[in-house]
Structure 1
Amino acid sequence: MSFVVTEEQFELLFPERNPFYTYQGLVEATAKYPEFTTTGGQEIALREAAAFLANTSHESLQFKHVVEINTAFYDHYCDPSQPYGCPAGKAAYYGRGPIQLSWNFNYKAAGDALGFDLLNHPELVETDPMVAWATALWYWNTQVGPGNFTCHNAIVGDHGFAETIRSINGPLECEGGNPRQMNNRVRLFTEYCEVLGTTTGDNLTC
């Protein structure tokens, strides 16, 4: 199994990451979404890889954090109105992994899509690197969030990096919501495109 980003490039980009975030785990996770970084030719494939790594490294502080830092919010992510409730406990669905997956309904949806019982075992996202990467790829490839496209379609459809930000955080960062956070994502994306030897395309800021 090959990935458009080499292990050497990954190590170069993230030398101080938490050892939990393994390159091998990422490569294994890409098998769940074969269209990821394989669509539209080499330039677009590398651009998508840079966009994914920019957004996920922003969320996890350069892959230094596996779980949400603020434990005070841990019991905030249980929506008891869901018919399946919160079987792992009210405080079990805090942010984990490269995209900081949170809420019981997201754990259930991601688990159902990926074939893991994350509703009952959310801890898998902080103990299995492949599962952690796979949850980020689930969001990237299948969820529109507050945006208009999945992050995958935003890049391969040439809608621009801005639309990946919109699909992840929408008005929290776009349209003046938090320009500092938005600009940090753009900065990382631009840097990663340079390292990977590809172009950023247009429409970078939202």
Structure 2
Amino acid sequence: MSRVRLLAMLAAVTLAGGVVAVFNMLPAAAATCAAQWQASAVYTGGGTVSHNGRNYRAKWWTQNEAPPGTTGVWEDQGACGGSTPNPPTQTGTTGACSFPAWVQGRNYVTGDIVKFTDGKFYIAEHDNPGYSPVVSTWYWDPYACSGGGGGTTPTTQPPTGGNGGFVVSEAQFNQMFPNRNPFYTYQGLVNALSAYPAFAKTGSDAARKQEAAAFLANADHETGGLVHIVEQNTANYPHYCDMSQPYGCPAGQAAYYGRGPIQLSWNFNYKAAGDALGIDLLRNPNLVQTDPAVAMKTALWYWNTQSGPGTMTPHNAMVNGAGFGETIRSINGSLECNGRNPTQVQSRVQAYQRFVAILGVGVGPGALSC
């Protein structure tokens, strides 16, 4: 608009009844650019970044995908540093957060914030039909409220930094896995811990470190040092379909091969893990090799809830003193334990011994081997 025309409009509106209407005709205030996107950073649902002069909001967990990306994870919030105003922001009431209570079965969309029955707040990472925030942790992330004075501004937990009380530091994690695939990140593991809060937080400090070391040692063996995302022996792929299950193998007979830190395999494990996490992994098993958060959560699901060919979960084996050897039995005992493959067992044991040494504790009670 030319300066002459704008001055004419100002004069006309002033004569018509004051300058308030004039301000409504002016361009909206420029949006402030959010923090610059970084390839190495992990962003969770609700996180906002700027890239090439535009703001973007993450719909779910992401890393290494520059906005606007190709997967749909980034929602364009408009230009920043220009004439586009900031998007509306949900805020709490003065002095405290005020968001609606979660309702089972109600449809939620990405970005919705609720107060759950545990008194904590959660933000939706994905649209979902009312899944529980503490069960379907792929769909929800914890949400913190901070601020004071004249009001309270809710903010998501920081996407980077902090380890949520995890007994393994990032430096120790990097020491354990110096050649790891970028798919496996320390922060990705930390973010997944909320799905199973008892993991590495049960018992003494030494017991907690021993459980963390045991989990990571088995992951080290299964993935060659967190290098491999999928099972390397492709000849095994068609063998993981149990057609006796009523749901069969809808993604294809060769679709349920090992993926992720514990190499989740078999259609019945994908079905059970997906049900627990609120994700249809039976029909979409590839999520375990394409979404780092899903990969970590499926590994923790198995560790904390499944006994496999053993008699107890790996979590129970460590916190109840059965020993590292029982975690091997629960993960792959039918192929490795009782003398079936001592070389593979020894590989796991040696990794565990290295990792407890890094954490400064002993190997703990119970048998090392199986």
Q: Same fold (TM over 0.5)?
A: yes
Contact 1:2 1:27 (C-alpha < 8 Å) held by counterparts: no
* In 2: Cα distance, 1:84 partner to 1:171 partner: 25
Cα displacement string for residues 111-146 of structure 1 (whole angstroms, at most 9, x for unaligned residues): 101111111111110011111011111111111111
1:17 is aligned to 2:180 = yes
**Segments of 4+ moved more than 3 angstroms:** none
1:93 is aligned to 2:256 = yes
SS at match of 1:72: helix
Report which of the two has the higher share of strand: 2
Following superposition, the deviation at residue 171 of structure 1 comes to 3.8
Following superposition, the deviation at residue 2 of structure 1 comes to 3.4
1:66 is aligned to 2:215 = no
Following superposition, the deviation at residue 103 of structure 1 comes to 1.1
Partner of 1:26: 189
1:128 is aligned to 2:268 = no
Following superposition, the deviation at residue 83 of structure 1 comes to 1.6
1:205 is aligned to 2:361 = no
Partner of 2:137: none
1:47 is aligned to 2:210 = yes
Partner of 1:196: 359
Following superposition, the deviation at residue 76 of structure 1 comes to 2.0
* In 2: Cα distance, 1:91 partner to 1:170 partner: 23
Partner of 2:277: 114
Give the structure-1-normalised TM-score: 0.96
Q: Which amino acid aligns with 2:369?
A: T
SS at match of 1:166: helix
SS at match of 2:195: coil
Cα displacement string for residues 67-116 of structure 1 (whole angstroms, at most 9, x for unaligned residues): 01122222222222222122222221111001111111110001101111
* In 2: Cα distance, 1:27 partner to 1:137 partner: 11
Give the structure-2-normalised TM-score: 0.54
* In 2: Cα distance, 1:148 partner to 1:38 partner: 22
SS at match of 2:205: helix
* In 1: Cα distance, 2:177 partner to 2:184 partner: 10
Following superposition, the deviation at residue 169 of structure 1 comes to 1.5
**Structure possessing the higher relative contact order (Cα contacts under 8 Å, 6 or more residues apart):** 1
Following superposition, the deviation at residue 152 of structure 1 comes to 0.4
Report which of the two has the higher share of helix: 1
Following superposition, the deviation at residue 201 of structure 1 comes to 1.4
Q: Which amino acid aligns with 2:368?
A: L
SS at match of 1:58: helix
CA RMSD of aligned residues (A): 1.1
* In 2: Cα distance, 1:128 partner to 1:22 partner: 12
1:142 is aligned to 2:305 = yes
Following superposition, the deviation at residue 46 of structure 1 comes to 0.3
Contact 2:207 2:364 (C-alpha < 8 Å) held by counterparts: no
* In 2: Cα distance, 1:3 partner to 1:42 partner: 11
* In 2: Cα distance, 1:179 partner to 1:40 partner: 30
Q: Which amino acid aligns with 1:204?
A: L
1:105 is aligned to 2:268 = yes
Query: What runs of 5+ residues in structure 2 fail to find an aligned partner?
Result: 1-163
Q: How does 1:153-192 map to 2 (within 5 A)?
A: 153-192=316-355
* In 1: Cα distance, 2:323 partner to 2:257 partner: 30
* In 2: Cα distance, 1:166 partner to 1:91 partner: 25
Structure with larger Rg: 2
